Structure 1
Amino acid sequence: MLHLDSGFDLRPARAEDAAKIAWWMAQPHIRQWWHQDWSVERWAQELSEQTAGEHSIPCVAAVDAEDFGYVELYRVRHDRLAEYYPSDENDWGVHVAIGDVTRVGRGLGRRLLRALSDALLGSDPDCRRVVAEPDIDNTQSVRAFAAAGFVGQGELQLPEKTALLMVRTRTVEA
């Protein structure tokens, strides 16, 4: 378990988290953007594959000892995103879904994004940037990233969406 600033905890997702993650991903506010409202079995398989590979690290986020969201941390160099912008060898990427609907719209996302990016930049001296690519029409997500110190760097036309490349660097003031 990794303890982050602002009282957040992050732990690797396990197969036994598949039911919770499947439930979160089926919520309308997530399903609309993630398109991963899969079965529990499919999520268990996805978590197993991610854990076994080197592409991404699936995690469950908690605050006050209550799980509330799903996080994927990934090295951009292992992701197709690297083909869409001049990525750095040590860029980290982040995907966040606040699954607990009672916690949506309360500033939790921006606080988690800031704590995550601070932790990634703080623990990896070679990393200069943490990036994200929310759908350009997902205004809540774009606002949360901006409030966490990410700066829009332009649109990216990905196969499934038009995204806004958002970048957090070490130079952002806390």
Structure 2
Amino acid sequence: MHDTVHASAIRLPYPPCDDPAALLPSLAEWFGAERDRKTATIALRCEDAATHGATDAEKRLASFAMRAVRAGVADRVTRDGDTLLVSTSRATFWQHPSPWLTAPSSGGAALRYVTQGGRRYPSRPPKPTGTVYRRYLPALASTFSLRTVDVSEDTERFHRWMNSERVARFWGLRGTREEHAAYLEAQCADAHVHPLIGCFDDRPFAYFEVYWAKEDRIAPFYDAHDFDRGLHLLVGERDAHGPGKLHAWFNGVLHYMFLDDPRTQRIVGEPRIDNTRHIAYMHRLGAYTLKEFDFPHKRAALIVLERDTFFTHHGP
């Protein structure tokens, strides 16, 4: 097992790049290729220190390294002679949004509260359109992405998926094309739900509903926190059920849910109690079953995945 890797010294031009995110591609290369790698250390030296003065160069490099920690790119900085060692854990790296999010995160919205239907919860930001998350998967030589539902583009495939025997067993939403278009329109209009299409290499294969739990029907059944998020899903294309792809898309959508708002500490789900495959896979990713309970339409398991568990032990 690789516990630490020291890169060859990265020589930064003088003055160093202002954006510590410049270190992320190197970190992505290590952490993306080796799932057992826990930490990585980049050695930083200023190549023009002799020309511009060692003291000034050291100050600028130290400032850059400090910003790397404050920006969430690194965990700590140590010194080895004229070299700064910038160390990053796997958990820290995968919580940085910039390599993966392709739309502004929900975390940037101001915190305001609304009260509706006897519930008080944060006002949710408008949902982005288009692609919101994209990640290349070296093991599959493929790119997983998530994009917001486009009703005009996605109704036909959603209609086909919902009427398949395998999906209808758990969703119970067989219907006409018009009914399914109306369903998607309602989800797009609902401020607490973000309907998404999952793709491999831009080919749609699944539908996901990412929702804020505090104002959802699940809230009365547990102590819902302001930024808990839940997930409903269906996989419409059978070739996405293979072990490699299953791990990739399941892991990817959970990763997106935690990245979209850093205040999200828990992801919850309420699969039907007989959906044992879904429950077992959530457990493999670090979730646990809090309890079983009765919705009006089903007996369900309340599944909880905590942020720290996901990133520290089971994450991307």
| Deviation string, structure 1 residues 88-123 (Cα, Å, up to 9, x no partner) | 111011111111023225353443222222222123
CA distance in structure 2 between the aligned counterparts of 1:59 and 1:28, rounded to whole angstroms: 22
Q: Aligned residue for 2:292? A: 155
Instruction: Give the unaligned 5+ runs of structure 1.
Output: none
Query: Superposed, which structure 2 residues align to 1:16-165 within 5 Å?
Result: 16=152, 17-165=154-302
Q: Aligned residue for 1:3? A: 133
Instruction: Please state how far the C-alpha of 1:4 moved relative to its aligned partner.
Output: 4.0
Distance 1:110 1:148, change over 3 A: farther
CA distance in structure 1 between the aligned counterparts of 2:132 and 2:155, rounded to whole angstroms: 20
155-164 or 6-15, which deviates more: 6-15
Letter in 2 for 1:89: D
Letter in 2 for 1:52: A
CA distance in structure 2 between the aligned counterparts of 1:2 and 1:171, rounded to whole angstroms: 23
More relative contact order, 1 or 2 (CA 8 Å, 6+ apart): 1
SS in 1 for 2:283: helix
SS in 2 for 1:23: helix
May I ask how many residue pairs the two structures share in their alignment? 174
Contact 2:145–2:199 under 8 Å retained in 1: yes
Distance 1:60 1:25, change over 3 A: same
Contact 1:60–1:68 under 8 Å retained in 2: yes
SS in 1 for 2:211: strand
Question: Does residue 1:12 correspond to 2:148, yes or no?
Answer: yes
Instruction: Please state how far the C-alpha of 1:161 moved relative to its aligned partner.
Output: 1.1
Contact 1:4–1:116 under 8 Å retained in 2: no
TM-score, normalization: structure 1? 0.91
CA distance in structure 2 between the aligned counterparts of 1:124 and 1:77, rounded to whole angstroms: 15
TM-score, normalization: structure 2? 0.52
Letter in 1 for 2:183: E
Contact 2:162–2:171 under 8 Å retained in 1: yes
Contact 1:75–1:91 under 8 Å retained in 2: yes
Distance 1:63 1:103, change over 3 A: same
Q: Which runs of 4+ in 1 moved over 6 A?
A: none
Contact 1:107–1:144 under 8 Å retained in 2: no
CA distance in structure 1 between the aligned counterparts of 2:249 and 2:156, rounded to whole angstroms: 22
SS in 2 for 1:80: coil
123-132 or 106-115, which deviates more: 106-115
Instruction: Give the unaligned 5+ runs of structure 2.
Output: 1-130, 138-142
Give the RMSD, CA atoms, in angstroms: 1.6
| Deviation string, structure 1 residues 126-166 (Cα, Å, up to 9, x no partner) | 11101111111111211222223322111121111111111
| Deviation string, structure 1 residues 12-70 (Cα, Å, up to 9, x no partner) | 11222111011111112211011112211111111112212212111111012211011
Contact 1:110–1:148 under 8 Å retained in 2: no
Sequence identity (%): 27
Contact 1:59–1:71 under 8 Å retained in 2: yes
